[in-house]
Structure 1
């Protein structure tokens, strides 16, 4: 069969699936996307402008670092980025302070990291090199970063994979897309349609079968789609639910060597930005860290939208697993009331709109994004190979520094499509 008459089914209409579909369809392949949700975007999910005053993101929100694929796509789409500005603050239970990036042991940490040749978990690394009481503050700060930012478990996370992030002290730029990630997804989906990609929404894939060189993809509702090749771009936890041919099943089992983290995200829109009306010296506050139930908050600064976003990442999110969205919103209000010393009732009265998502409870995500263990790079190298009729793609297979990001998903989709086209 000639390459251009090949029919490829892509499972998942998130960033990786859409990117791969556009690339393959542009090169003349017949492409069908099967998506379990009734929308595109996956873990990118905009909220209604009518409720929040702008297209708020209940999933992915920031563009991290250089992100060349993302930035190239945004230029194509005519979308612009707004760099994150402002100051970071901490609340220690009694007082606010500007977050100091500098730790007295930072030089020592960097020296040990530079000389590290053998990978080990973050917990083992800290135990081996920084066990003394004088390092308590630094250990706590590192563990908080690993759990909160990387949504990872320090007892399993790879030190080498996080080394670069620590060495630059988290100083790489962060930005938001003007119009949100949803605008980028709309652009990609429209480009796919213009190149003839067929979309089947509401189709959760249950099985992929191989017989006599042909593939059949079976949806939970009973539909069966025939094709020549399949690209699976679903979040890692969902791979366990899809029946696969033997060789693909053996590869998919390697996903257990890749970490996958949970995130709870809460958006609260108030009548006014009361947090800086009360404290003029904090008008440019961007991030706020504390030890409250919902430990991380950020503003829309420099935009003046009266919105606070709460964030809780990592294994300890399991403590709130039983809470429904309203329970999470209540936990967010309680945390803010304690941090700012205001009455919870007054915050609740001031609330205009709210949304909360525990991504671990989303049936088509079961978590937020991936992170590396010491065995991840090896697993990724095997999973990303184009050596069969079933291929794997997505943010969890990206071998660069920023796995777990939208950039990682886009780059992986592009790479997978490229491997097929080069064959």
Structure 2
């Protein structure tokens, strides 16, 4: 370490990077954040309030479960949460109906999960315990949840990692930040700046080198920094694109044992919330599930914004990989027209603003969030070690229950900073 204050370079100004930077800078460390984008936030992407009538989220949107780190930060920032209220509906191809919460085979599922000792992929678990025709509906429901909600592949996803979610509803406790996740990012950026963190945007890191006890971080197009430690907070697919020292490269290869899924997210703002006029019982609509091209929709309930958000997650998003944003918006309107039995032209005419993001097409994300395979916990344990000058952090390394969330990213950043501070 140099005789001056220890200098730490953080690659990525997402939730994990900002959280680590804040903790390290508060403790007196010299911190520089290199961010490839022209904005902070990473897979949190705040959209202009002028576009949707409120600060909408083009990326992460919900606060799941207890989320103690997130809630603590919100208190620090003077921000509040609004719980989601309303009713979930589904469309079976012919009619809309309230989603039934109880599956007749739920007790069998819970018993099989409780008895599970050795991890299996979700697909193997279902084949072993529920392969017959009687359980076909339950299998479809589980596979749809694993693919669409967890953005995971049933043939690779860990059953043990998802067990808690299935046993007690897992992330069904959901809320939104009043002002959106962008307000939390603004708070973290301001905190970092207040404590002297230096931000360099549009800085795409291409290589990290070690020589003579020092570390050099190289950026594409030239330029670089020397430092004492580097924290890499980029999504797992991007680790393959950064040249690393041998020991760090060996560790980074373990990221292949961590699943990483994609999400397509589409926001449509209408002249008015027309779905509430369709029938009185849809006035409290929150989530809507179907088998249409864009299969999941939600409102902003309890807020009354005339915005519907479409969601398509998991491996099947590859089917739409050739579509540009406008084609995705067209597919979204088609899906809504089919579900609500409305003329497509009427819906399209009513759209005031629209944004579509296929996160797999984002060059600095290559997808949306991580999920666990049966090999993930062992990989995370090694990746999270502070046993060299290059450290790894981010939601994919979080070993708690809610992998793939902003809470996971914040908690991982906090943990990584703590390891450096403890020396």
Matches within 5 A, 1:22-33: 22-33=22-33
Confirm or deny that 1:58 pairs with 2:63.
no
Residue deviations 1:200-250, cap 9 Å, x none? 000000000000010000000201111011000001100000000000000
What corresponds to 2:227 in structure 1?
227
What corresponds to 1:252 in structure 2?
252
What corresponds to 1:5 in structure 2?
5
Structure 2 stretches of 5 or more lacking a match?
none
CA distance in 1 between counterparts of 2:297 and 2:101 reads: 17
Residue deviations 1:56-88, cap 9 Å, x none? 000000000000000000000000000011000
3-state SS of paired residue (2:45): coil
Residue deviations 1:31-69, cap 9 Å, x none? 000000011000000111111000100000000000000
* Aligned residues of 1:7 and 1:228 also touching (Cα < 8 A): yes
What corresponds to 1:199 in structure 2?
199
3-state SS of paired residue (1:283): helix
- What is the TM-score when the length of structure 2 is the normalising length? 0.99
What corresponds to 1:144 in structure 2?
144
What corresponds to 2:21 in structure 1?
21
CA distance in 2 between counterparts of 1:352 and 1:291 reads: 26
What corresponds to 1:277 in structure 2?
277
What corresponds to 1:344 in structure 2?
344
Structure 1 stretches of 5 or more lacking a match?
none
Aligned-pair CA distance for 1:272: 0.4
Confirm or deny that 1:165 pairs with 2:160.
no
CA distance in 2 between counterparts of 1:400 and 1:90 reads: 31
Matches within 5 A, 1:13-412: 13-170=13-170, 172-412=172-412
After superposition, the CA RMSD in angstroms is: 0.9
Residue deviations 1:361-384, cap 9 Å, x none? 000000000000000000000000
3-state SS of paired residue (2:231): strand
* Aligned residues of 2:65 and 2:170 also touching (Cα < 8 A): no
* Aligned residues of 1:259 and 1:370 also touching (Cα < 8 A): yes
Shift of the 198–411 alpha-carbon distance from structure 1 to 2, 3 Å rule, reads: same
* Aligned residues of 1:263 and 1:317 also touching (Cα < 8 A): yes
CA distance in 2 between counterparts of 1:250 and 1:79 reads: 41
* Aligned residues of 1:4 and 1:28 also touching (Cα < 8 A): no
* Aligned residues of 2:2 and 2:228 also touching (Cα < 8 A): no
* Aligned residues of 1:3 and 1:29 also touching (Cα < 8 A): no
CA distance in 1 between counterparts of 2:73 and 2:47 reads: 22
Aligned-pair CA distance for 1:121: 0.3
Aligned-pair CA distance for 1:5: 1.3
CA distance in 2 between counterparts of 1:4 and 1:25 reads: 14
* Aligned residues of 1:296 and 1:312 also touching (Cα < 8 A): yes
* Aligned residues of 2:218 and 2:225 also touching (Cα < 8 A): yes
- What is the TM-score when the length of structure 1 is the normalising length? 0.99
CA distance in 2 between counterparts of 1:262 and 1:295 reads: 14
Residue deviations 1:169-197, cap 9 Å, x none? 34641000000000000000000000000
